[in-house]
Amino acid sequence: MKILLISPGSYDDIDSQITRSIPYLFAKAIFSPHAIASVAALTPAGHEVEIHDEYIRGPAELVLEGKSVDVIGISVTSNQVKHCLDIASHCKRLMPDAVLVVGGIGVENLIHQNQEYIDVIFYGEVEDTWPQFLKDYQKGSFHSEYKSFTKPDLTKVPPPAWELIREDISLYNAVSVQTTRGCPFDCSFCDVIYTYGRIPRSKTIDQVLLEIRNLYEMNVQMVFIADDNFAGNKKYTKELLVQLAEMNNSFTSPVGFITQLDITIAQDEELLTLLANCNFMAVMIGIESVNDASLIDLNKQQNLRVSLPEAIQTIQSYGIVVLAHMIIGADSDDLTVFQKTADFVNEANVIHHFCHPLSAPPGTKMWYDLKRQGRIVSLDNDEISDKLDIISNIIPRQMTRIELFEGLADYWEKIYDPQVFMERAIAFIQGITKKPDVRAPGLKTLMKRRRMLSRVFTFFIFDVEKEHRKVFFTLLRTAKSKMSFLMPKIIYLYTSYLMDYKRSRHDIQVARDYIRWEKEHPDKITVESTHIPIPDTIRFNAKEILSIAYDRIRARTSDKELVCQYVVGSVLDYSDRFGERFSTMDDIQKEQIRLSCDRITEHLFVGDGERKELLPENPPPGFTREILDALDRAARHKSVYVM
């Protein structure tokens, strides 16, 4: 069987353009296509698999001409749903006999889209379902949907099949390694816990080290640890980092690392030391907001436990750059938030950050909440349908949409100004007090770096604007006078900033163009219907669904009124998330019902609530009818019932 796996992208994508515009990077894309490389590795021997990354190889339709393929797989991402559907239409037009399958973190966004070109949809993790589909295909009978019933054991997961794109591996800024799946947190704009669960599952340390060693042998210089929260299980993370530091320092030229973490790592000196000694160049952290009330809006409670500026400065004192992700537009944000955010970034010496408008990805809890409130807009503009990192799909509570976009455009313009950046970067350098224990590069590596440095200096002397040239060499002088080991990090630091700067110029233009468009076409900004009915399939199975929810919540509180309210909230959450594709009750649906109950009652401790009466083990007579009536009311006015 011949299988073509497609990772969507665009050669003209702004990030790709920016990457290619910096010659000393020798890259065409930022991150390698981890999802499809992992699927390729799960494919049993005997099948012929090809990986096509559009960022590197161009539009997929160009390689389909004259090909004979049995199965085409597309990895769907949340921010490229429209483009993925375009790829699907091209595939069906050019290869009508091929079976077209899709999967990935963005498949939930396909619920309200035209799926006429899609033959099979994979929901969740595919370690078990992808091999099963291939068996079914060979038997001549496969399903239109495959859902994972259990969480795969990551200790049995093979490494991604990077050998299939070995010749392209140097064209990525970083190649991905995943050590764990799952996150203990439940931010309202994120659906990770539904996809991977709350409890982190990990590969063995030997698995991870082997993957990294193999990448080193392929001359990969930067590895992205692509976990949702690399320190979700700190005990495991520390054990891994101890061995990783030893292995990395045995290499002729240690590999650099970046990953995603949460702000609580600032309170763990041992963990920070290990990260520095493993040569972590940067850590991505969801700061989200400078407003405490907005953090509560976003259910980002863990960020309230620390002083964010002090935490960032602590992390950066180890020479690790904090890539801060920030959001503006939460319900508690008013027009003062833009200046407050700028003040925070400057106070904390944040030198690398993304600041986006709050958007509600379709299918998330936030999306359903705002849809019921009449605050989700239908963007009748194809040019921005895949640009929710610039143009939001929500109506903010304390400002207009135009004010949100104008405020962001002005913010981007000011905060990424080279002179303003230089002040933060100098403070970052001066704030480094811990020197990491990382092996100095050998002679061979120094010679390679010498050639690279020649390209770097040529670029900054001849190819950039005067203001960037001045800032870059000022930072180099500052770093040299302090610690010579910082020189490579300054190049990384400024390269990251230069990419941020170029991206901000693009985003500013997109935002200002859109502002003009929305002002000129107010009739095309329509609010989506606020009514989300409870599907008939949920009603038909209501007795069993409600019994599961009742049993789960009764274990947390014996207050009858609270039980009823939390059952309503939990089933509504479950219905929103799974109702439109619910068909029959199975083990995975039961687990998702329990997960919804846990989400709604997460702030309760077992036994909370005054014990007014001992509740029976099974729902009382009339309970199903009572809850269904309450669900109908809650479906129209969710805030009445959701705690």
The enclosing domain of 319 has a CATH number of: 3.80.30.20
Parallel, antiparallel or unpaired: strands 201-202 and 222-225: unpaired
Per-residue pLDDT, averaged over 306-331, amounts to 94
Q: Of the spans 483-487, 506-510, 557-561, which averages the highest pLDDT?
A: 506-510
Q: Say which DSSP state 459 is in.
A: I
| Cβ count near 446 (within 10 Å) | 12
What is each CA distance from 422 to 247, 269, 351, in whole angstroms? 35, 28, 9
Contact 215, 255 (CB under 8 A): yes
Give 468-473's long-range contacts (Cβ < 8 A, gap of 24+): 468/418, 468/498, 468/501, 470/418, 471/418, 471/419, 471/421, 471/422, 471/425
What angle, 0 to 180 degrees and rounded to 10, lies between the N-to-C axes of helices 418-430 and 466-482? 10
Q: Which residue has the tokens 């949100």?
A: 404
Q: What per-residue confidence (pLDDT) applies to 79?
A: 75
Question: Do 630 and 601 share a structural domain?
Answer: yes
In a domain, 294, yes or no: yes
What is the rounded end-to-end Cα distance, in angstroms, of the chain? 51
pLDDT surpassing 90 at residue 13: no
Question: Do 92 and 10 share a structural domain?
Answer: yes
Grade residue 302 by pLDDT with cuts at 50, 70 and 90.
confident
Grade residue 192 by pLDDT with cuts at 50, 70 and 90.
low
pLDDT digits (tens, 9 = 90+) for 401-427: 999 999 999 999 999 999 999 999 999
Name which of 214-218, 310-314, 450-454 the model is least confident about: 450-454
In a domain, 491, yes or no: no
Cα(307)–Cα(197) distance, rounded to whole angstroms? 28
In a domain, 427, yes or no: no
In a domain, 288, yes or no: yes
Three-class DSSP category at 399: coil
Q: Which domain holds residue 132?
A: 2-147
**Higher model confidence: residue 118 or residue 620?**
118
Among candidate residues 444, 434, 531, the one with its CA nearest the CA of residue 489: 434
Q: What per-residue confidence (pLDDT) applies to 315?
A: 97
**Token representation of residue 10:** 């665009």
The dihedral through the CA atoms of 573, 574, 576, 577 has a sign that is positive
Question: Do 349 and 286 share a structural domain?
Answer: yes
In a domain, 521, yes or no: no
Q: What per-residue confidence (pLDDT) applies to 257?
A: 96
Name which of 72-76, 489-493, 515-519 the model is least confident about: 489-493
pLDDT surpassing 90 at residue 511: yes
pLDDT digits (tens, 9 = 90+) for 423-476: 999 999 999 999 888 887 655 665 666 777 788 889 999 998 999 999 999 998
Question: Do 183 and 115 share a structural domain?
Answer: no
Cα(27)–Cα(495) distance, rounded to whole angstroms? 13
**What are the DSSP E strand ranges found in 105-152?**
120-123, 145-147
Q: What per-residue confidence (pLDDT) applies to 239?
A: 97
In a domain, 579, yes or no: yes
In a domain, 36, yes or no: yes
Grade residue 127 by pLDDT with cuts at 50, 70 and 90.
very high
Q: What per-residue confidence (pLDDT) applies to 607?
A: 45
pLDDT above 90 covers a percentage of the chain that reads 51
Question: Do 329 and 212 share a structural domain?
Answer: yes
Contact 132, 148 (CB under 8 A): no
Q: What per-residue confidence (pLDDT) applies to 397?
A: 95
pLDDT above 70 covers a percentage of the chain that reads 89
Mean predicted lDDT score pLDDT of the chain: 86
Helix (H) or strand (E) holding 94: helix 81-94
pLDDT surpassing 80 at residue 295: yes
Sheet holding 256-261, edge to edge: 29-31, 172-177, 222-225, 256-261, 280-288, 321-328, 352-357
The total of structural domains in the chain comes to 3
pLDDT surpassing 80 at residue 199: no
Question: Do 177 and 104 share a structural domain?
Answer: no
In a domain, 480, yes or no: no
pTM of the complete model? 0.84
pLDDT surpassing 60 at residue 612: no
Q: Which residue among 360, 384, 405 closes a domain? A: 360
Q: What per-residue confidence (pLDDT) applies to 400?
A: 96
Q: What per-residue confidence (pLDDT) applies to 34?
A: 95
Question: Do 319 and 277 share a structural domain?
Answer: yes
Q: What per-residue confidence (pLDDT) applies to 641?
A: 38
Q: What per-residue confidence (pLDDT) applies to 251?
A: 92
Question: Do 344 and 273 share a structural domain?
Answer: yes
Q: Which residue among 114, 147, 180 closes a domain? A: 147
Name which of 59-68, 209-218, 544-553 the model is least confident about: 59-68
Question: Do 204 and 133 share a structural domain?
Answer: no
pLDDT surpassing 90 at residue 224: yes
Cα(481)–Cα(475) distance, rounded to whole angstroms? 10
Per-residue pLDDT, averaged over 147-166, amounts to 90
Q: What is the CATH number of the domain that holds 101?
A: 3.40.50.2300
Q: Which residue among 101, 117, 147 closes a domain? A: 147
Q: What per-residue confidence (pLDDT) applies to 642?
A: 40
Question: Do 135 and 215 share a structural domain?
Answer: no
Q: What per-residue confidence (pLDDT) applies to 380?
A: 59
Q: Say which DSSP state 329 is in.
A: -
Among candidate residues 106, 101, 160, 152, the one with its CA nearest the CA of residue 127: 152
What angle, 0 to 180 degrees and rounded to 10, lies between the N-to-C axes of helices 234-248 and 205-217? 30
Question: Do 216 and 333 share a structural domain?
Answer: yes
Name which of 3-7, 152-156, 394-398, 538-542 the model is least confident about: 538-542
pLDDT surpassing 90 at residue 124: no
What is each CA distance from 280 to 40, 354, 453, in whole angstroms? 28, 19, 21
Q: What per-residue confidence (pLDDT) applies to 467?
A: 92
Cα(376)–Cα(400) distance, rounded to whole angstroms? 13
pLDDT surpassing 60 at residue 609: no
Residue type, 561: E
Q: What per-residue confidence (pLDDT) applies to 276?
A: 96
Q: What per-residue confidence (pLDDT) applies to 194?
A: 65
Question: Do 206 and 129 share a structural domain?
Answer: no
Parallel, antiparallel or unpaired: strands 2-7 and 29-31: unpaired
